[in-house]
Amino acid sequence: MSLLEVEDLAVHFPITQGTLVSRTVGHVYAVDGVSLTIEQGETYGLVGESGCGKSTLGRAILKLTEPTRGSVRFDGRDVAALKGEELRKARRRFQMVFQDPLSSLDPRQSVESLLQEGMKAHGLTGGHARLQELVDAVGLPKGSLRRYPHEFSGGQRQRIGIARALCVEPDLIVADEPVSALDVSVQAQVLNLLSRLQAELGLTYLVIAHDLAVVRHVSDRVGVMYLGGIVEEAPAGDLYADPQHPYTKALLSAVPTPDPEAEDRRERILLAGDLPSPAAPPSGCRFHTRCPWRQADRCATERPELRQLEGAPAGHRVACHHAEAIKAGTIRPHEVDATLVDEAAGFPVDGPDHASSVQEILGR
Ligand SMILES: Nc1ncnc2c1ncn2[C@@H]1O[C@H](COP(=O)(O)OP(=O)(O)OP(=O)(O)O)[C@@H](O)[C@H]1O
Ligand code: SF4
Ligand SMILES: [Mg+2]
Query: Ligand 1 centroid vs 51 CA: distance in angstroms?
Result: 5
* Of 15-29, 45-59, 95-109, 242-256, the least confident: 95-109
Examine residue 13 and state whether it is found in any structural domain, yes or no: no
Domain ends where: 203, 219, 235?
Answer: 219
| pLDDT for 351 beyond 70 | no
215/313 same-domain check: no
| pLDDT for 151 beyond 90 | yes
> What is the edge-to-edge ordering of all strands in the sheet holding 221-226?
94-97, 172-176, 204-209, 43-47, 221-226, 229-235, 317-318, 307-308
Contact (Cβ atoms closer than 8 angstroms) between residue 239 and residue 251: no
For the stretch 233-242, pLDDT in tens is 999 999 999 9
Beta bridge partners of 43: 205
Ligand 1 proximity of 12 Cβ (cutoff 6 Å): no
CATH number at residue 207: 3.40.50.300
88/149 same-domain check: yes
Query: Ligand 1 centroid vs 55 CA: distance in angstroms?
Result: 7
The proportion of the chain whose per-residue pLDDT surpasses 70, expressed as a percent, equals: 91
Parent domain of 305: 243-362
322/188 same-domain check: no
Ligand 2 proximity of 287 Cβ (cutoff 6 Å): yes
146/254 same-domain check: no
With CA atoms as reference, report the closest residue to 214 among 176, 161, 158, 248.
Answer: 176
What per-residue string of b and e applies to 14-48 under the rule 16 or more CB within 10 Å gives b?
eeeeeeeeeeeeebbbbbbbbbbebeeebbbbbbb
- Tell me 79's DSSP state: G
Examine residue 131 and state whether it is found in any structural domain, yes or no: yes
Say what the pTM is: 0.88
Count other C-beta atoms under 10 Å from residue 284's C-beta: 17
Examine residue 4 and state whether it is found in any structural domain, yes or no: no
Give burial (CB, 10 Å; 0-12/13-18/19+) of 147.
Answer: middle
Examine residue 20 and state whether it is found in any structural domain, yes or no: no
Question: Helix, strand or coil for residue 359?
Answer: helix
Query: Ligand 2 centroid vs 142 CA: distance in angstroms?
Result: 54
| Total number of domains in the chain | 2
90/208 same-domain check: yes
162/198 same-domain check: yes
273/337 same-domain check: yes
Query: Ligand 2 centroid vs 34 CA: distance in angstroms?
Result: 18
124/211 same-domain check: yes
Ligand 2 proximity of 91 Cβ (cutoff 6 Å): no
In which band, very low, low, confident or very high, does the pLDDT at 21 lie, cut at 50, 70 and 90? confident
| pLDDT for 363 beyond 50 | no
In which band, very low, low, confident or very high, does the pLDDT at 258 lie, cut at 50, 70 and 90? confident
In which band, very low, low, confident or very high, does the pLDDT at 330 lie, cut at 50, 70 and 90? very high
The ligand with the least distance to the CA atom of 52 is: 1
For the stretch 49-100, pLDDT in tens is 999 999 999 999 999 999 999 999 999 999 988 888 888 888 899 999 988 7
Domain ends where: 157, 185, 219?
Answer: 219
Ligand 1 proximity of 178 Cβ (cutoff 6 Å): no
Residue nearest to atom 6 of ligand 2 (CA): 320
Examine residue 238 and state whether it is found in any structural domain, yes or no: no
